[in-house]
């Protein structure tokens, strides 16, 4: 059984619903599209629902801000979240369940800003940038998590992209899939932006609490393996990314 919750209340910490697995997601199109009225969707959400259909796992899918999702999964043994970028720092905090997609992480700017030149991570520090709170970009770019004159730490990636669109900031850090799909969903033109520097090829996937039952993790991994073999995974990629 799948239950869907939208939990954006400040200070609210969802409790475990019986023995059900708590699955935390945050708005991040096309991977997670939060829709409390019609049901959450997106590539990773639909993929995980297919996983549940192949297993006997009972789950609550709970939409919260990204920082809350990270906190909740470190606190609750029967919980996981997606889609998270895999990093050595996060490997210490969470159990990596499986990779569901590969992306090119990097720095984005407006295409008309021909004065911006990024040849290394150090060059990023010459420009103003907007980053989501709790995002992996803060550590990747070696930027202080505290706001400053040139660093804007905001709650959502949408704020970062809109600030970039109106020249409020000069840069945003994202991955190629997430950035351009978000731009489209916000009603902006993808042709207005460019990826000016690629930092790395990154795994996005499912991460669980360190004390998650190993049997549940094994069931999820086996189900994902089946979905990649039977064509369901490929069809979802075509649907959400229009790519082979």
Task: Enumerate the β-bridge partners of residue 154.
Answer: 132
Question: Can you point out the beta strands (E) in 111-192?
Answer: 129-132, 151-154, 171-175
Q: Helix 214-229 crosses helix 232-241 at what angle (to 10 degrees)?
A: 80
Omega before 30 cis (within 30°)? yes
Token digits of residue 199? 């930092």
CB distance 95 to 189 below 8 Å:
no
Residue 58 has a CB neighbour count (10 Å cut-off) of: 14
Q: Name the β-bridge partners of 28.
A: 32
Beta strand residue intervals within 32-133, DSSP E = 59-63, 79-85, 94-110, 129-132
pLDDT by residue for the chain (244 residues), tens only, comes to 555 554 544 444 455 445 789 999 998 888 999 888 888 999 999 999 999 999 999 999 999 999 999 999 999 999 999 999 999 999 999 999 999 999 999 999 999 999 999 999 999 999 999 998 888 888 888 887 666 789 999 988 889 999 999 999 999 999 999 899 889 888 999 999 999 999 999 999 999 999 999 999 999 999 999 999 999 999 999 999 865 4
Please report the sign of the dihedral spanned by the C-alpha atoms of residue 86, residue 87, residue 91, residue 92: negative
Single pTM value for the model: 0.76
Q: Which residues pair with 85 in a beta bridge?
A: 204
Report CA torsion sign: 55, 57, 63, 69.
Answer: negative
- Answer whether 83's CB lies under 8 Å from 31's CB: yes
Q: How far apart are the C-alpha atoms of 230 and 54, rounded to whole Å?
A: 12
Q: How far is CA 92 from the centre of its chain?
A: 18
């Amino acid at each position: 059984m799948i239950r869907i919750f939208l939990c954006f209340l400040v200070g609210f910490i969802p409790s475990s619903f019986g023995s059900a697995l708590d699955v935390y997601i945050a708005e991040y199109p096309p991977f997670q599209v939060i829709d409390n009225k019609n049901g959450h969707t997106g590539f990773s959400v639909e993929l995980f629902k297919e996983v549940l259909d192949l297993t006997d796992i009972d789950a609550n899918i709970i939409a919260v801000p990204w920082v809350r999702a990270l906190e909740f999964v470190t606190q609750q043994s029967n919980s996981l979240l997606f889609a998270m970028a895999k990093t050595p720092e996060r490997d210490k905090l969470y159990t990596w369940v499986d990779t569901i997609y590969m992306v090119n992480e990097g720095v984005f700017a407006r295409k008309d800003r021909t004065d911006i030149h990024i040849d290394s991570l150090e060059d990023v520090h010459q420009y103003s940038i907007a980053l989501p709170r709790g995002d992996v970009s803060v550590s990747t770019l070696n930027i202080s998590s505290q706001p400053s004159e040139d660093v804007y730490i905001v709650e959502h990636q949408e704020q970062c992209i809109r600030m970039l669109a109106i020249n409020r900031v000069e840069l945003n850090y994202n991955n190629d899939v997430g950035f351009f799909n978000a731009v489209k969903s916000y009603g902006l033109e993808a042709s207005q932006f460019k990826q000016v520097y690629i930092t790395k090829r990154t795994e996005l996937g499912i991460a669980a609490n360190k004390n998650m039952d190993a049997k549940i993790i094994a069931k999820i991994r086996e189900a994902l393996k089946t979905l990649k073999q039977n064509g369901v995974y490929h069809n979802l990629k075509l649907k959400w990314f229009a790519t082979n």
